[in-house]
Amino acid sequence: MSEQKPQTGSEFILTFEDSADRVPVLMIHGFPLNNTMWDDQVASLAHVARLITPDLRGHGLTEATDISPYTMEMMATDCIHVLDSLDIDGPVVVAGLSMGGYIAFEICRRFPERVSGLILAATKASADTDEARANREASARMALDEGVHPVVSSLIPKLLAPAAYEDNPDLVEYLEEMMLSASAEGVAGAQLAMSLRPDSKGDLKYLQVPTLVVHGKEDQLIPVSEAEIMAEGIPGAKLELIEGAGHMVNMEEPEAFNEVVREFLVSFYDV
């Protein structure tokens, strides 16, 4: 059973979930979501791993801060502070979906001694194009000027595999409610942080930890080719493509996602 705990920092309180005393896994949510996107994983994988799922600043139960723009370094450091508060000073498996994957790359750059493995889900190593960066900047302005609703409305049709919008309306509704709970400041800060993130493709060959790359075959936001680039670039990385899943691969096909993650985590008991 998970327990919510506060992390007191110099500027704000970061909330998170922490499941059990097993292989520690830091699970970083995507944009503009929160740690409840990992609920199925917390329920299904707690017997093999200690799952720590923070709400990033301005998302879920963590308040936004007035620092602008947010940066990948800032959010990576927030996550490390959570581990510090739990007296976890050794390396952990870092799992990130989409924006969470960008933060995972930043943790690898700045805190390599804290990483024992990687799970990169529905994410990519490449930086934004100029067009994508401009779109994020416009989205950030929209969130601050008009609220998060128009940002969410533009994003929701791309998050899932096309069939899910008819076949799984409850998931569509749940995701929309989750995203609408994010603060305008958090949405804007995260968009700007992603727009400023560095390209990580050149770092792939230096990642010397076990790595699992998981991607939905019907991802409308990040093409499968980006997952293949990561899997080919990271020494020894394993690629798993999930049938019937879009960008929210862990929520659309949780059984398939949990199975490949479970196999990956169990391997840590054998080393």
Every domain of the chain and the residues it spans: 3-270
Q: Which residue has the higher pLDDT, 192 or 12?
A: 192
- Average pLDDT value for residue range 233-255: 98
Total-model pTM: 0.92
Question: Is the model's pLDDT at 13 over the cut of 90?
Answer: no
**At the topology level of CATH, where does 3-270 sit?**
Rossmann fold (3.40.50)
Q: What's the pLDDT band for 67 if we cut at 50, 70, 90?
A: confident
For residue 12, the model assigns a pLDDT of 58
For residue 82, the model assigns a pLDDT of 96
For residue 2, the model assigns a pLDDT of 44
Mean per-residue pLDDT of the chain:
93
Q: What's the pLDDT band for 95 if we cut at 50, 70, 90?
A: very high
- Average pLDDT value for residue range 45-58: 95
**Per-residue pLDDT tens over the stretch 125-146:** 999 999 999 999 999 999 999 9
Question: Is the model's pLDDT at 269 over the cut of 80?
Answer: no
For residue 7, the model assigns a pLDDT of 47
Cα gap 167→162, rounded to integer Å:
9
Structure tokens at 70: 């947010």
Cross-strand pairs, 6: 15
For residue 19, the model assigns a pLDDT of 59
Question: Is the model's pLDDT at 31 over the cut of 90?
Answer: yes
Q: Positive or negative, the Cα torsion across 197, 199, 201, 204?
A: negative
Angle subtended at Cα 132 by Cα 238 and Cα 164, rounded to the nearest 5 degrees? 60
Q: What's the pLDDT band for 9 if we cut at 50, 70, 90?
A: very low
